[in-house]
Amino acid sequence: MELTEMRCVPCRGGEPPLTEEEIAAWLPHVPGWQVVVREGIPQLERTFRFPNFREALAFTLQVGELAEAEGHHPVLITRWGSVTVIWWTHKIRGLHRNDFIMAAKTDALFSRRSGGS
């Protein structure tokens, strides 16, 4: 099953975060994303480019709606011409399969906006 067809599962804590090996296995499924470690917490990050602020803001709102629908929320940094999206699972202080699902769904949103590019 494709990541974009999967749904996030509730993560209430107590689950272990993905191991480095598991992260390495999931990462090829979300090309363009990188793992960034902040305060010891691995996070998935990608910056999306837009020709202006209006389109960047519209994408930010789309990602926000997606996050609400899935019950999993990112950090969104909106600037003129770009949106940086950062996924990780706060309750386990690391990455979970949900983060890769959401990264793939974020890519699909971007692809639809940009006509598949």
User: For residue 117, what pLDDT is reported?
Assistant: 45
Domain count, the chain: 1
Q: Does 10 fall in a domain?
A: no
**What's the token pair of residue 67?**
């996050």
Structural domain including 47 reads 17-113
What is the CATH number for 84? 3.30.1360.20
Q: Does 12 fall in a domain?
A: no
User: For residue 115, what pLDDT is reported?
Assistant: 67
User: For residue 113, what pLDDT is reported?
Assistant: 81
Q: Does 1 fall in a domain?
A: no
Q: Does 9 fall in a domain?
A: no
Taking only the tens of pLDDT, the chain with its 117 residues reads 688 776 777 666 678 899 999 999 999 999 999 999 999 999 999 999 999 999 999 999 999 999 999 999 999 999 999 999 999 999 899 999 999 999 999 999 999 886 654
Helix H segments across the chain? 20-26, 53-70, 97-113
Q: Does 73 fall in a domain?
A: yes
Q: Does 27 fall in a domain?
A: yes
How far apart (Å, rounded) are the C-alpha atoms in residues 57 and 52?
Answer: 9
Q: Does 22 fall in a domain?
A: yes
User: For residue 13, what pLDDT is reported?
Assistant: 63
Q: Does 7 fall in a domain?
A: no
User: For residue 1, what pLDDT is reported?
Assistant: 64
